[in-house]
Chain A
Amino acid sequence: MAKISVKVDGVTYSDDVEARMLLVHYLRESLGKVGTVVGCDTSNCGACTVHLDGRSVKSCNMLAVQADGHEVTTIEGLADGDTLHPVQQAFHDCHALQCGYCTPGMIMQATSFLKDNPTPTEHEVRVGMEGNLCRCTGYHNIVRAVLAAAGEGGGSQ
């Protein structure tokens, strides 16, 4: 067991974890942050995407112990109270989700991407979101939503 201290969605947690525990399992099982999900075991699907110190990472592709001393933001910490983040709002407005399983990862990647590139072209959005698989939407409306969020200042938040 290793002692870790991680700030998640604004709250600092100190826990003993097994070294082998993945960050995503720490979030889901230890902290109850079940908004972040697991979709594969090879880091391809991106469903588990969270922010580590403000940048998108795949939380199934790192150990909880590696997050010691760092700050994690999950989909559950993105909205400002009842006010949705512009990317969340854009996903709703553009019907960018169906089953919703990939959605937390998509939104977390989109917010990180837009921070780096606040005014992307459609092509840049498509490449920027390539690490997140969706099986429902054909990506069409996801791309639309990210572009819409960029227009709404989603990149500057």
Chain B
Amino acid sequence: MIPVSFDYLAPTTLDEALAALAEHGEDAKVLGGGQSLLPVLRMRLNAPEVVVDLGRIEELRGIREDGDTVVIGAMTTYADVLADATVTEHIALLHKAIAEVADDQIRHRGTVGGAIVHADPAGDVGPAVLALDAEMVIAGPGGRRTVGAADFFTDLFETAVGEGEVLVEIRLPKHTGWGAHYEKFVRVSHQWSIVAVAATVRAEGGTIAEAKVALANMGATPLRAKATEVALTGQPATDVAVREAAASAADGTNPPSDLNGDADYRRHLATVLTRRAVLAAAGS
């Protein structure tokens, strides 16, 4: 199908983009990589009057190190993240999650920032940035502000990015030396996750010194499995110990029921997949 008619703006600087958004208010829709927005426009589920394409703003692209932090421009494509050695070395979990996003073609166009702002609860980037305690830098008419991942995802397809604002970059604390694994459960490979678990673990000897675990599609937003994280701390990276800790992975979640599974099945999956993700991340 063909989208409704709209006006198209392609600013080349962030300031121009913010000005355009300020001018058009709620009539405007931000176009990132477009891999989620285009299907929505084609199905006419959304009919913006103006589309503001961020694709020509160079300052929103790129990956750099800033001390103990890796900074990823919001318009950096998945493919560019996957090819980046800094990401692989310091935030391996993000690499592993993004490797599972959709397919090759989508990863060539889709952007990290676009996925984060789209905030599909079944998306792969959300749980990774949540587990990695990332911070999102948001620019608006009043300047820039930073929101932690824990506060960023506010509801189904909703984030802290407000009208007239743009996600500029994602700041991810380095987790150098941490093991990482992204366990995605689907029926066919091009599906969104039924449930997915992002886990990153700092192991000392055979012991889990620290673990961070986040879940996809277990509620309206990506969720941290806090109870499991606490239970894992100081435990040996064995099947028995991790199994016990993972049993609480679904605590406090509110998973959906749909074609691919009812909520109770998803709760069960979360525990199994958490165990597998943590063991894999711990290298066991």
Contacts and interface: CB of A to CB of B under 8 A. Distances in A.
B157 interface: no
A19 B7 contact: yes
B190 A44 contact: yes
A62 B38 contact: yes
B39 A61 contact: yes
B2 A20 contact: yes
B51 interface: yes
A112 B34 CA distance: 20
Contacts of B41: 20
Contacts of A144: none
Nearest to A18: B5
B106 A63 contact: no
Given A19-B5, A19-B51, A63-B38, A43 B189 contact: no
Contacts of A130: 103-104, 189-190
Interface residues of A, number: 34
B108 interface: yes
- Chain B interface residue number, banded: 20 to 34
Contact of A66 (B6, B42, B53, B105): B53
A148 interface: no
B37 to A, nearest CB: 9
A43 B33 CA distance: 13
B106 A58 contact: yes
A128 interface: yes
A8 B105 CA distance: 18
Interface string B210-230: 000000000000000000000
Contacts of A66: 31, 34, 53, 55
B84 to A, nearest CB: 14
A120 to B, nearest CB: 12
A35 interface: no
A13 to B, nearest CB: 18
A154 interface: no
Nearest to B83: A116
A42 to B, nearest CB: 5
A109 interface: yes
Contacts of B43: 41-42
Contacts of A112: 104-105, 108
A66 to B, nearest CB: 6
Interface string A76-120: 000000000000000000000000000000000100110000000
Contacts of A131: 102-106, 190
Contacts of A68: 10
B1 A41 contact: yes
Contacts of B55: 66
Interface of B: 1-8, 10, 31, 34-35, 38-39, 41-43, 51, 53, 55, 79, 102-106, 108-109, 189-190
Q: 10 shortest A-B CB distances, which residue pairs?
A: A131-B103, A19-B8, A20-B3, A55-B108, A130-B189, A61-B38, A56-B105, A42-B39, A58-B105, A131-B105
Given A21-B2, A68-B10, A112-B108, 6 more contacts: A41-B1, A41-B39, A63-B8, A63-B53, A66-B55, A109-B104
